[in-house]
Chain A
């Protein structure tokens, strides 16, 4: 196995800028790894055929003495929800098969500008609707810890790619947990930034008021480095914040010293008391809290009485916005076109195309959303759900009056088996109970590995939440706990994951 794929992005970046390693070598190592394991993992929907050209150009510029970004030359996996000019963008849907965007998503453009090397597009639940990546139109992604299990969703491809060492960095999007929950089940790090902290321009919209793009990595520092590249104001996104953000990489480095834990007040939500949580998940969560407590953190029980309404509100808001956002897929300007039998009108061409092009979960949510917005129901459905957002924001506000961060298990269970819950959407939806409040309120969240569940040996994540605009706090606290746990474990959690190559060395 090539060493280069085992490096963190920060380590690889250091070797690149010291010219110990070339970007071509680093990129080739990851392409080799993809070739070796992605047949099993299926993290990628498309692998770039010119990544090496991009890497070569970075090497040339470096050799010419050009001042490059810290991450220049480091490979990057891009969730297929983000549009790219040089690779197809399908959002995991048949209806967009082969679609080539004439413009790059802002986060992709910023990544390219920093010299990151896009390796390919990662698999996802169709239009980001799901928590398992089983709803991709192109087949499921498998969890590198156990290929029979789901890698989480919707960004299972990005999480699996970094967990399987196919890429050191990946981009994800999080509407109700699609970055954090995959991080939880794959033993990786995922951040959902403050709403508006990262541009949504070029992210194929699921639910506009909930979507956020963020980093998917193996370490907190790497997430901070990538967040620094993609974040900040974008005039193409009206909801983008014009705040001057601190460096999140700097926050992670500062946090790694552990100082931040001294006197840190960590809130634990009384209403997420463990019922419905797998015992190994709860145990790992408690152990992580104890470790923090031992370093001087204070664990404070807080109440968030409206969190329990979050899932219901979420499943009113999301389908409503999604039904409208997905109306553009109509066979007129791009994407699939199906010509039905018999007298064709544009109406029935559209209807036949959307029937054939969308998977069952997408159709289900579009129909539910159409129903929720349909005549007379707006106030009762969408409007009431938006009131719950206000109540959840108030819960956060009250909590952050008492504590610096809130901690929860990132999800109730470890990775379940592929196919296990696919026919039970409501059971699947409950996966998001811990992650959804952050999307409804717009606050940032991070998931980092807290350990393995005793009963199944699968990864568990701990989630920290901070007030809106306080993303840096998450990097400090996350990096502190990460340093503590890696020290306890004697190495990164992912070192314990299977090699995926049946012992064959590359």
Chain B
């Protein structure tokens, strides 16, 4: 793949205004699929199933099979539509999107076309610098996912040069909600950051609703990013590209930045942008064009004759509206005030995706300051070295319990870090780790005094110096005592006692 010429980002922004648009697919975590009663692999309970073991006749397009709509998927979709500030259509219907592809069992996707379940909304997104941006939502519609293709032979996993492909229909029929924004203007230098913040907000919303596992690395959330540039002062929109299936927040940010730089370089040389779909390559950090398909734009949509209109009762909509959680941006504002964090401290938590973790730790009894310290500090450090999500390492309840042990003087900070390590390693709750590893601070002064007396007696010259008022000499004794206690003593207390004993002996 030829290397694209890129323009410096700031220079690109001087010459052009970026216009963004996003299509985010959310996999719902219902127990069963959108149109069949087969188990849904996007539900945690069925994750990692063997290929082709979660398949009902309609999922693989068997002759004679018919779809039936999952009631829970309808509820989830309405909730999501409401959380996006959308109107819920009094009547919506399914349509067939016809195209041939081996992962599509029926060779049509049941989707919604001219009558989506939710339309015309907006969602507030908070950028890294704390600015709130309102993203206009065009529509949210229900559809089914396709199966999974694995390309074999040729270069690993790539479609290009593959000799053959293998198809697994487990994912076929997974319920999806596709959220489509209107064009987003005015993002300017923040465009890459906005892309990331938008996806994070959608993730927070669906997590808050409990309607998706919301794990980007599993494809529970998939973002297609549309980017176009127009010269400063021009009214008419530029030609856009659609970068498909960008599956991490960092990648969304990078892909948008890349497209801005790539398109700017072309436009600045008088070139034109091809309207096309592009693929994001995580490894190289670049996008490449997809092969133009002759039938890509002729999906021959028509109303799905096997399914009937969805006409939600107003009472149902109100019931779901009443059950909506607080919108993410409002929640952020509230938490920031409640926790009395500085802007910097709050952004540290928010940008690390640790808002829920800190909130739940506080709810479990820790102070906001200590909760923040644990999550943005030690836990994040371990997460980075293990290349895992901080939130997956340890439960907020255990973090709160750990802090409780520190507050009670049972653990020093240093010991607490060792206990955390044990908890992360799956050795149990903090108390269980303290017990099994024998890590509690020795708070029995008797044992300490005995050790101190021994140490002082063994080093009479040190004892003499202390008595002479050379207090810093106590360090040698403290070190010996801590060593004797195998570190399980509170150094400050040891110091106090050393000075006391030196005077008394």
Residues of chain A touching chain B, judged by Cβ–Cβ distance below 8 Å, are 82-83, 89, 91, 96, 99, 101-103, 105, 200-205, 207-209, 235-239, 320-321, 323-324, 327-328, 330, 332-334, 346-347, 350, 370, 373-375, 378, 382
Contact = CB atoms under 8 A, between A and B. Distances in A.
B468 interface: no
Contacts of B300: 323-324, 370, 373-375, 378
Given A327-B100, A327-B107, A83 B298 contact: no
Contacts of B307: 238
18 contacts: A89-B63, A91-B63, A102-B57, A203-B64, A204-B63, A237-B68, A238-B66, A323-B98, A324-B98, A324-B302, A327-B107, A328-B62, A330-B102, A333-B167, A346-B102, A347-B100, A373-B300, A382-B302
B165 interface: yes
A238 B298 contact: no
Interface in B57-113: 57, 60-69, 96, 98, 100, 102, 105-108
Given A324-B98, A327-B107, A374-B298, A236 B66 contact: yes
A236 B65 CA distance: 8
Given A208-B306, A346-B102, A330 B107 contact: yes
Contacts of A239: 305-306, 308
Contacts of A102: 57, 62
A374 B102 CA distance: 21
B50 interface: no
A56 B98 CA distance: 47
A237 B302 contact: no
B387 interface: no
A374 B300 CA distance: 5
B66 A201 contact: yes
Given A324-B108, A370-B300, A82 B64 contact: yes
Given A102-B57, A237-B66, A327-B107, 12 more contacts: A96-B63, A101-B62, A103-B64, A200-B66, A202-B65, A236-B68, A238-B68, A321-B305, A323-B98, A324-B98, A324-B302, A328-B107
B100 A378 contact: no
B62 to A, nearest CB: 7
B295 to A, nearest CB: 10
Given A346-B102, A374-B300, A378-B301, A101 B64 contact: yes
B297 interface: yes
A320 B305 CA distance: 11
A375 B305 contact: no
A43 to B, nearest CB: 22
Residue of A323, A350, A373 ringed by the most chain B CB atoms within 10 A: A373
Contacts of B62: 83, 101-103, 328, 333-334
Contacts of B68: 235-238
Interface in B290-320: 297-298, 300-302, 305-308
Contact of B60 (A209, A333, A347): A333
Contacts of B106: 327-328
A202 B64 contact: yes
B64 A205 contact: yes
B42 to A, nearest CB: 22
Contact of A201 (B64, B98, B298, B308): B64
A330 B100 contact: yes
B100 A333 contact: no
Contacts of B305: 207-209, 239, 321
Q: Which 5 A-B pairs have the closest CB atoms?
A: A327-B107, A373-B300, A208-B305, A209-B305, A328-B61
Nearest to B306: A208
Given A236-B68, A333-B105, A370-B300, A327 B63 contact: no
A153 B388 CA distance: 64
Contacts of B107: 327-328, 330
A105 B63 CA distance: 10
Contact of A105 (B61, B64, B67, B100): B64
A373 B61 contact: no
Contacts of A235: 68
Contacts of B65: 103, 201-202
B242 to A, nearest CB: 19
Contacts of B67: 238
A358 to B, nearest CB: 14
B105 A320 contact: no
A238 B302 contact: no
Contacts of B302: 320-321, 324, 373, 378, 382
A96 B62 CA distance: 11
Contacts of B167: 332-333
B137 to A, nearest CB: 26
Nearest to A203: B64
A498 to B, nearest CB: 36
Nearest to A91: B63
Contacts of A378: 300-302
A330 B63 CA distance: 12
A237 B307 CA distance: 9
A102 B169 CA distance: 16
A320 B302 CA distance: 9
Contacts of A374: 298, 300
B165 A346 contact: yes
Contacts of B61: 328, 333
A205 B61 CA distance: 11
Interface-centre pick from A204, A207, A333 (highest chain B CB count, 10 A) = A333
A82 to B, nearest CB: 7
A424 B306 CA distance: 32
A101 B63 contact: yes
Contacts of A99: 63
Contacts of A201: 64-66
A332 B169 CA distance: 12
A327 B108 contact: yes
A374 B294 CA distance: 13
B45 to A, nearest CB: 23
Nearest to A369: B300
B356 to A, nearest CB: 38
A204 B68 CA distance: 16
Q: Which of A203, A235, A239, A332 has the most CB of B within 10 A?
A: A332
Nearest to B98: A324
Given A99-B63, A103-B57, A203-B64, A238 B165 contact: no
B374 to A, nearest CB: 51
Contacts of B105: 328, 333
Q: Could you say which of A101, A238, A347 has the most chain B C-beta atoms within 10 Å of its C-beta? A: A238
Interface in B322-371: none
Nearest to A328: B61
B205 to A, nearest CB: 30
A372 to B, nearest CB: 9
A347 B165 CA distance: 13
A334 B102 CA distance: 12
A96 B300 CA distance: 25
A456 to B, nearest CB: 38
Contacts of B169: 333
A332 B63 contact: no
Contacts of A91: 63
B98 A373 contact: yes
Contacts of B100: 327, 330, 347, 350
Contacts of A236: 66, 68
A13 to B, nearest CB: 28
A437 B421 CA distance: 75
> Which of B66, B98, B108, B165 has the most chain A CB atoms closer than 10 A to its own CB?
B66
Contacts of B108: 324, 327
Contact of B69 (A103, A208, A238): A238
Most interface-central of A96, A323, A378 (chain B CB within 10 A): A378
Contacts of A370: 300
Nearest to B149: A346
Q: Which of B64, B65, B165, B307 has the most CB of A within 10 A?
A: B64
A324 B302 CA distance: 10
Nearest to A204: B63
Contacts of B64: 82-83, 89, 101, 103, 105, 201-205
